[in-house]
């Protein structure tokens, strides 16, 4: 059921630009990190944390909270930005990404950062972890939802498909997976590395309810999340058709920026583009 208006969408789009600026700033300062997959994941994370998901930064361990697991852990700069802006920790901490003795490491560590549900980075594990969290909720008679985001290249891992079969077998109706379908992984185009064919048909054949959308269209993301909530007899996967490096022209669809931070010139160009986009959105308020 739709429960948002154009103002809500506009505010979320503005927040997405703000998070993208945080990502670029973090990686430039750290001189390390993964811009491409962080930028492609931003819009879905913003929709989750600033509109859809039941969570409370003041009670990060609330047993009734919804859970989010970032299986593609290298995209954690986007999640850090969202958590900081949500109030889990001070925004100023973002400037210390990857520093020694800083809680914000290059991949998420659940014992360091409030709001991080799982330590990830070794690809392929997140969906199995999410299954366990969803099963625990069922056993404890809790109604919380579990969300997990995987990269499309990550689904080359066999464990993902074992976990997909398990989720379907146990009818984990409170589990929703996102596939960040940007068609690029560290070694190149996903279809050249290991052809994924029709992602929709493959997940459907594993017994999942499949929704496929534009992963940068905030209205479509919100609608898909509502649809997933209302479909309660099997797990749901939302295929996000995205652009790696979204929002920064020279990073978009450029595999070279999978794990390479911007240099000073690139940082200045990226921030100029994002500031222009932010000003454009603000002018249309």
Give the model's confidence band at 2: pLDDT under 50 very low, under 70 low, under 90 confident, else very high: low
The string of DSSP letters for the chain reads -----HHHHHHHHHHHHHHHHHHHHHHHHHT-S-HHHHHHHHHHHHHIIIII----TT-TT-TTS-EEEESSGGGHHHHHHHHHHHTSS-GGGGGGTT-TT-S--SS--TTTSTT------STT-HHHHHHHHHHHHHHTT----EEEEEETGGGGSHHHHHHHHHHHHTT-TTEEEEEEE-SEETTEEHHHHS----HHHHHHHTT-EEEEEETT-HHHHHHHHHHHHH--SS-EEEEEE--TTTTSTTTTT-GGGSS----HHHHHHHHHHHHHHHHHHHHT-
Residue 4 has pLDDT above 90, yes or no: no
Q: According to the model, what pLDDT value does residue 39 have?
A: 98
Q: According to the model, what pLDDT value does residue 232 have?
A: 83
- Over the stretch 101-144, which tens digit does the pLDDT of each residue have? 999 999 999 999 999 999 999 999 999 999 999 999 999 999 99
Domain boundaries 6-283, CATH class: alpha beta
- Over the stretch 236-255, which tens digit does the pLDDT of each residue have? 999 999 999 999 999 999 99
Residue 35 has pLDDT above 70, yes or no: yes
What is the residue extent of each domain of the chain?
6-283
Give the model's confidence band at 285: pLDDT under 50 very low, under 70 low, under 90 confident, else very high: confident
| 2 against 39, higher pLDDT | 39
What average pLDDT does the chain have?
Answer: 96
- Over the stretch 214-223, which tens digit does the pLDDT of each residue have? 999 999 999 9
- Over the stretch 251-276, which tens digit does the pLDDT of each residue have? 999 999 999 999 999 999 999 999 99
Residue 63 has pLDDT above 60, yes or no: yes
């Amino acid at each position: 059921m739709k429960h948002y208006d154009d103002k809500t969408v506009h505010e979320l789009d503005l927040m997405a630009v703000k998070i993208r600026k945080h990502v670029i700033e973090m990686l430039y300062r750290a001189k390390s990190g993964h811009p491409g997959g962080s930028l492609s994941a931003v819009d879905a994370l913003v929709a989750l944390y600033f509109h859809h998901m039941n969570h409370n930064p003041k009670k990060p361990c609330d047993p009734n909270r919804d859970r989010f697991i970032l299986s593609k852990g290298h995209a954690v700069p986007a999640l850090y930005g969202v958590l900081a802006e949500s109030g889990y920790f001070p925004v100023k901490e973002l400037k210390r990404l990857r520093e020694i003795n800083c809680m914000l490491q290059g991949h998420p560590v659940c014992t360091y950062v409030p709001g991080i549900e799982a330590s990830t980075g070794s690809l392929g594990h997140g969906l199995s972890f999410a299954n366990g969290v969803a099963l625990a909720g069922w056993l404890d008679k809790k109604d919380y939802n579990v969300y997990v985001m995987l990269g499309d290249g990550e689904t080359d891992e066999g464990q993902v498909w074992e976990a997909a079969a398990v989720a379907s077998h146990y009818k984990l109706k409170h589990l929703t997976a996102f596939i960040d379908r940007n068609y690029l992984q560290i070694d190149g185009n996903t279809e050249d590395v290991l052809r994924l064919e029709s992602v929709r048909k493959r997940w459907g054949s594993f017994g999942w309810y499949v929704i496929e959308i534009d992963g940068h269209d905030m209205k479509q993301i919100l609608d898909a999340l509502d649809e997933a909530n209302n479909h309660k007899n099997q797990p749901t996967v939302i295929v996000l058709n995205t652009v790696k490096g979204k929002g920064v022209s020279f990073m978009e669809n450029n595999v070279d920026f999978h794990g390479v931070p911007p240099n000073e010139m690139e940082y200045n160009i990226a921030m100029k583009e994002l500031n222009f986009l932010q000003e454009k959105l603000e002018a249309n308020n």
